[in-house]
């Protein structure tokens, strides 16, 4: 690995190793979340350092975030907040260090909500390969699991990748699976099979959990989700083109990553005031521009960016599959 963790981030990792990790709540019931978080915090001593953790999720409601910070400050606690975001905010753990929450993390292997069939999400052995040297069969992959209105709107378009994989499972939310839907799960790959598809693809099109939003909604934190979707794109050696919340491309770039949105007509759309209205169209334009390339042209293009692809891999693998940085899932 050529990537070296900056000194200030090493200090933050040491802070985490010497802190107590406390799980917090952030549900749609704001009052209940605030009450439960206050009960937890008011039991803590000011003699320790703490990580308030919302692993694999983002704190989506500003009132919950501000109440959490206010309550902890009233107790004079020394604390940082862990969530799965690329967005920096008061008391946040740096987004790169936050990637360590995925180190040794367990996830469902099947497409359905079966928590009895779990695997290590990003196992070191699975990614023990040279990401810029293997043969790749597919021009690109766009594989989306869970249903939501934005994704429904996008897949109502003529979505295709020539010489690639396009898949929308349109899977229901937790608790809403029907027996009819469950009978179809064998049509979709397991997560381990999905990893192999990514490792065999040149481009990846990522529809993150966070989406383009109306910036006038002050009740939301607008923290961008950085989930296993984006992590897989980097670890598998693809060239990611991402659809996330406002400023997501910019935030990933500031973290040191290369994403390929603006190389294919995205035009910094995530920084526009009307991103909630035009984001899907710009993402679709990226896909269409990639489709103008033949498979051989895409392979040659991928070859020219091996340095960036390797650098993306080196950053993510340092935090996510380096066993020495498994600080949250031991």
Band of residue 2 on the pLDDT scale cut at 50, 70, 90:
confident
Give me the percent of the chain exceeding a pLDDT of 90: 82
Cβ contacts of 92 within 8 Å, gap of 6 or more: 80, 81, 83, 85, 98
* Token pair for 193: 């099979």
pLDDT at 217: 81
Element (H, E) at 201: strand 201-207
What letters, b where the CB count within 10 A reaches 16 and e where it falls short, cover 208-231?
A: bbbbbeebeeeebbbbbbbbbbbb
- The residue extents of the domains of the chain are 7-105, 107-323
Backbone phi, psi, residue 55, to 5°: -60, 140
* Token pair for 238: 């693809």
Q: What is the mean pLDDT of residues 164-190?
A: 85
Is the pLDDT at 1 greater than 80, yes or no? no
Q: How many CB atoms lie within 10 A of CB 42?
A: 11
How many angstroms separate the Cα of 7 from the Cα of each of 28, 86, 96, 299, 311? 38, 19, 13, 37, 19
pTM of the model: 0.95
Q: What is the mean pLDDT of residues 22-37?
A: 96
Model confidence pLDDT, tens digit, residues 204-225: 999 999 888 877 788 889 999 9
Lowest mean pLDDT among 44-48, 263-267, 292-296: 44-48
Model confidence pLDDT, tens digit, residues 45-102: 988 999 999 999 999 999 999 999 999 999 999 999 999 999 999 999 999 999 999 9
Cβ contacts of 93 within 8 Å, gap of 6 or more: 12, 16, 51, 80, 81, 82
């Amino acid at each position: 690995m050529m990537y070296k963790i900056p000194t200030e981030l090493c200090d933050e990792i040491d802070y985490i190793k010497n802190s107590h990790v406390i799980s917090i709540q952030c549900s749609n019931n704001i009052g209940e979340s605030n009450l439960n978080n206050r009960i937890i915090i008011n039991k803590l001593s000011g003699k320790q350092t703490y990580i308030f953790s919302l692993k694999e999720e983002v704190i989506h409601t500003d009132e919950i975030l501000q109440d959490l910070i206010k309550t902890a400050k009233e107790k004079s606690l020394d604390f940082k907040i862990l969530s799965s975001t690329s967005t920096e905010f008061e008391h946040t753990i740096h987004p790169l260090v936050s990637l360590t929450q995925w180190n040794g993390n367990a996830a469902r292997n099947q497409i359905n909500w079966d928590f009895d069939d779990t695997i290590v999400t990003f196992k070191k052995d699975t990614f023990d390969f040279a990401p810029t040297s293997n043969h790749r069969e597919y021009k690109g992959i766009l594989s989306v699991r869970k249903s939501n209105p934005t994704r429904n709107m996008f897949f109502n378009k003529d979505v295709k990748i020539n010489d690639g994989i396009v898949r929308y499972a349109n899977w229901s939310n937790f608790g809403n699976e029907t027996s009819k839907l469950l009978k179809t799960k064998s049509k979709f790959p397991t997560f381990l099979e999905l990893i192999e598809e990514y490792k065999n693809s040149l481009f990846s099109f990522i529809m993150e959990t966070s989406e383009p939003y109306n910036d006038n909604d002050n009740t939301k934190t607008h923290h961008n989700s950085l989930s296993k979707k984006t992590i897989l794109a980097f670890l598998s050696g693809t060239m990611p083109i991402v659809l996330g919340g406002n400023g997501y491309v910019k935030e990933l770039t500031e973290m040191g990553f290369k994403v390929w949105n603006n190389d294919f007509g995205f035009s910094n759309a995530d920084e526009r005031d009307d991103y909630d209205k035009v984001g899907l169209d710009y993402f679709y334009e990226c896909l269409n521009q990639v489709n103008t390339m033949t498979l051989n042209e895409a392979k040659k293009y991928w070859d020219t960016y091996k340095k960036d692809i390797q650098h993306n891999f080196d950053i993510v693998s340092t935090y996510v599959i380096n066993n020495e940085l498994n600080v949250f899932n031991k």
